[in-house]
């Protein structure tokens, strides 16, 4: 990836604390990535993106450029998060991933706004490959078209 002036603000959404800590450590290897928070289900992710904490009502301090979203979580899973964010005017880039990729309806996930659907990385090299697949447009927020004759958000090529 090319050199960046601003770190990519990244929100990790995974119900496993261990996965969150591993991803945080792996992403720390990239000087152009900044993990701004880890949340543990889709409802917490939605609250963060919508800039409020349901427990305190406080505003989140930094809007994410990228969400690394687990598919299978309690209370609100990755597909539900995509459905609830699909009509939001401004939203981050989203990688939906899982250890059981065959359980994901990939065309639907892309239609709902995922930029990339893939297996969870097992090592730093795989994570780097996923980030490379997102390409240079990763840091540009997505503005959703609200016209009926235009597809709401074109998926990025894989």
For 81-125, the pLDDT digits (tens) are 999 998 888 888 999 999 998 999 999 999 999 999 999 999 999
Give domain status of residue 81, yes or no.
Answer: yes
Backbone angles phi, psi at 113, to 5 degrees: 120, 5
Q: Is residue 144 a part of any domain in this protein?
A: no
148 falls within a domain: no
How many H helices and E strands in the chain?
5, 7
Is residue 105 a part of any domain in this protein?
yes
Considering only CA atoms, which of 68, 67, 127 is closest in space to residue 97? 68
Q: Are strands 142-143 and 90-91 parallel, antiparallel or unpaired?
A: antiparallel
Residue 2 belongs to a domain: no
Question: In CATH, what number is assigned to the domain containing residue 120?
Answer: 3.40.50.2300
Q: Say if residue 126's pLDDT is above 70.
A: yes
Q: What is the pTM of this model?
A: 0.79
Q: List pLDDT tens digits, range 19-32.
A: 999 999 999 999 88
In a domain, 156, yes or no: no
Confidence of residue 6 (pLDDT cuts 50, 70, 90): confident
Reported as a single tens digit per residue, the pLDDT across 68-82 is 999 999 889 999 999
Task: Centre a 10 Å sphere on the Cβ of residue 47 and count the other Cβ atoms it contains.
Answer: 17
Q: Is residue 1 part of a domain?
A: no
Domain hosting 101: range is 8-135
Q: Structurally, how many domains does the chain consist of?
A: 1
């Amino acid at each position: 990836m090319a050199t960046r002036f601003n770190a990519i603000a990244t929100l990790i959404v995974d119900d496993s604390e261990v996965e969150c800590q591993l991803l945080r450590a792996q992403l720390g290897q990239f000087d152009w990535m900044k993990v701004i928070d880890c949340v543990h289900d889709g409802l917490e992710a939605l609250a963060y993106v919508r800039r409020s904490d349901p427990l305190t009502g406080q505003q989140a301090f930094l809007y994410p450029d990228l969400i690394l979203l687990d598919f299978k979580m309690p209370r609100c899973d990755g597909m539900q998060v995509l459905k609830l964010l699909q009509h939001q005017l401004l939203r981050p880039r989203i990688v939906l991933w899982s250890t059981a990729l065959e359980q994901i309806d990939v065309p639907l996930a892309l239609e709902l706004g995922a930029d990339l659907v893939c297996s969870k990385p097992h090592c730093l090299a795989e994570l780097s490959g996923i980030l490379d697949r997102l390409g240079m447009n990763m840091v540009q927020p997505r503005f959703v078209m609200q016209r009926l004759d235009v597809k709401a958000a074109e998926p990025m090529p894989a």
